Amino acid sequence: MLRDRSTPVDLFALVPALELRFEPELAELDRLLEDDQMFQQIKADLSRRRPHTTETGRPSTPVEVILRLLVVQHLYDWSYAQTEHFVGDSLVLRQFCRLGLDPVPHHTTLLRWANLLQPTTMHRLLDRVTELAGSLKVTRGRKLRIDSTVVATAIHYPTDSTLLFDGVRVLNRLVQRATAALTGKPRRWGANRMRQGKQLVRRIEATAAAHPTAADRAERPQLYRRLLTLTRASVDQAERIQRALTGSSDAALQRVDAALKRITPLVQQVIAQTERRVLHGESVPASAKLVSLFEPHTAIVRRGKAHLPAEFGRKVMLDEVDGGLVTRYAVLPGNPPDAPELPISLAHHQAVFDQIPSVLTADRAFFTLDNDQLARDLGIRSVALPRQGPLTAKQQQVRQRAAFRRAYRWRAGIEGRISVLKRRFGLDRCRYHGEDGMERWVGWGLLAHNLRQIGRSVATGSAR
């Protein structure tokens, strides 16, 4: 049965000698999380766990406890296990999370609840926090700056050989699991294939030196052919097992069958792209490459950075307003250009603040003639979108104006904001799985950041 709230227990009143109290920022954060709209949105998603979650079953962890534990987790960039441990050890965090003297939920329980939250809910929560910030005069939505970054997925560096070996390893594991369930006896299918595959990957990596010898270059295709043969054998074995599992009513076998149906096509795609690249010398487009069997939504993003020629993750668009709040994010597929996102950002800003910004700025990747004209048609007072390429004398005069330079200097602040989000709120690397997991991870990181910004502004009296 889904519970809304636990019975209030004031730990501070129980231990007055310790003089426990919230820090000013945490006290403001505590008041913000009392918002009923945020609570109801979280509750609506958690109610989807079972058909009668809200009515029957043993009492659950209260919704407000789950919400606050997830905020604390991302506020301090902890794992689920660290959240369980540190909250359990802290009277202040126990009071903040409304736990009282109850045990902290096990980290696996918190994980299961967190996975029920929908990506659309994260966007609505961010909009609600922005609305609360406006009511507290933390921001007025007068300025808007836009930029993009890449949030890496939790994968190893993708090479053709390691991807092929991943396929062999995963398919062999699933085949062994299915065989044990069908026969009742564990059998080590493919043990020799695994050993050979690991040796081949090591030899291939040894031939990938900065200055390979002629013998290494000649041996490399042969090693890949042997590894491809091993991988195809694993795929053939997996397909035979799939045929044997057809029509099975056993729940464990159905799970294995579903995993085989999900993984086998991905391994076949890896085989095809390896043949094209290594054996036929073709150039496979980045949009057609698979770089992970476990996070197949991962994209190859090239942004022209010398120290990071290629990044593996998802491109994320961020909108920031005055007050240091990120009001919108979008997880983009592939590696699209930045410019088409600017009209979307302006439309969202108008919907949230019911006004256009007085200052709009972004880097040169966002400039197009259409975007520049749109900003002027909307009547934005100061637009700082630097053009690409050589400038005319009139365009250079515009760039030298004090308003343009002032707005473009303010644009640079979003680079620092992105750095803080990556270092402090986990946006350097996503720890959740799948596309929905990426949306949740980015959403929680931005929510925690915005809540901290609001708490800090209100606590220090800098809100206007």
Helix (H, G, I), strand (E, B) or coil at 189: coil
**Ordered per-residue pLDDT tens for the chain, 464 residues:** 788 888 887 767 776 655 667 888 899 999 999 999 999 999 999 998 888 888 888 888 899 999 999 999 999 999 999 999 999 999 889 999 999 888 999 999 999 999 999 999 999 999 999 999 999 999 999 999 999 999 999 999 999 999 999 999 999 999 888 888 887 777 666 667 888 999 999 998 888 766 677 777 788 889 999 999 999 999 999 999 888 888 888 888 899 999 999 999 999 999 999 999 988 888 889 888 999 999 999 999 998 887 888 999 999 999 999 999 999 999 999 999 999 999 999 999 999 999 999 999 999 999 999 999 999 999 999 999 998 888 888 888 888 888 889 999 999 999 999 999 999 999 999 999 999 999 999 999 999 999 999 999 998 876 65
Distant-in-sequence, close-in-space partners of 6: CB < 8 Å, separation ≥ 6: 62, 64, 65, 98, 99, 100, 102
Task: Note whether 111 and 432 are within 8 A (CB).
Answer: no
**Residue 180 has what pLDDT?**
84
Burial 402-422 (b: 16+ CB within 10 A, else e): eebeebbebbebbeebbeebb
**Residue 53 has what pLDDT?**
82
Q: How far is CA 60 from CA 44, 110, 230, 233, in A?
A: 14, 11, 48, 47
Task: Note whether 74 and 444 are within 8 A (CB).
Answer: yes
**Residue 209 has what pLDDT?**
66
Alpha-helical segments (H) within 184-213: 191-206
**Residue 17 has what pLDDT?**
57
Residues 346, 319: Cα–Cα separation, whole Å: 9
**Residue 38 has what pLDDT?**
94
Amino acid at 377: D
Task: Note whether 355 and 378 are within 8 A (CB).
Answer: no
Task: Note whether 245 and 178 are within 8 A (CB).
Answer: yes
Beta strands in 124-175 (DSSP E): 143-152
Task: Note whether 330 and 344 are within 8 A (CB).
Answer: yes
Beta bridge partners of 319: 146, 328
Task: Note whether 228 and 271 are within 8 A (CB).
Answer: yes
Beta bridge partners of 301: 311
Which of 146, 145, 120, 142 is CA-nearest to residue 354? 142
Residues in the chain: 464
**Residue 19 has what pLDDT?**
62
Residue with tokens 């902290």: 104
Which secondary structure element, helix H or strand E, spans residue 327, and what is its range? strand 325-332
Question: Is this prediction's pTM over 0.85?
Answer: yes
Q: In the chain, what are the domain boundaries?
A: 11-117, 120-155+298-437+455-460, 160-288
Residue with tokens 């308003």: 403
Distant-in-sequence, close-in-space partners of 232: CB < 8 Å, separation ≥ 6: 271
Task: Note whether 140 and 134 are within 8 A (CB).
Answer: yes
Residue with tokens 């594991």: 173
Which of 245, 231, 225, 244 is CA-nearest to residue 190? 231
Angle at the Cα of 452 from the Cα atoms of 446 and 453, rounded to 5 degrees? 90
Q: How many CA within 13 A on the CB side of residue 357?
A: 29
Distant-in-sequence, close-in-space partners of 147: CB < 8 Å, separation ≥ 6: 317, 318, 320, 362, 363, 414, 415, 418
Q: Judge residue 1's burial from the number of C-beta atoms within 10 Å of its C-beta, 0-12 exposed, 13-18 middle, 19 or more buried.
A: exposed
Angle at the Cα of 382 from the Cα atoms of 380 and 385, rounded to 5 degrees? 100
Q: How many CA within 13 A on the CB side of residue 327?
A: 31
Distant-in-sequence, close-in-space partners of 229: CB < 8 Å, separation ≥ 6: none
Amino acid at 228: L
Q: At 39, list the tokens.
A: 């609570």
End-to-end Cα distance, the chain: 44
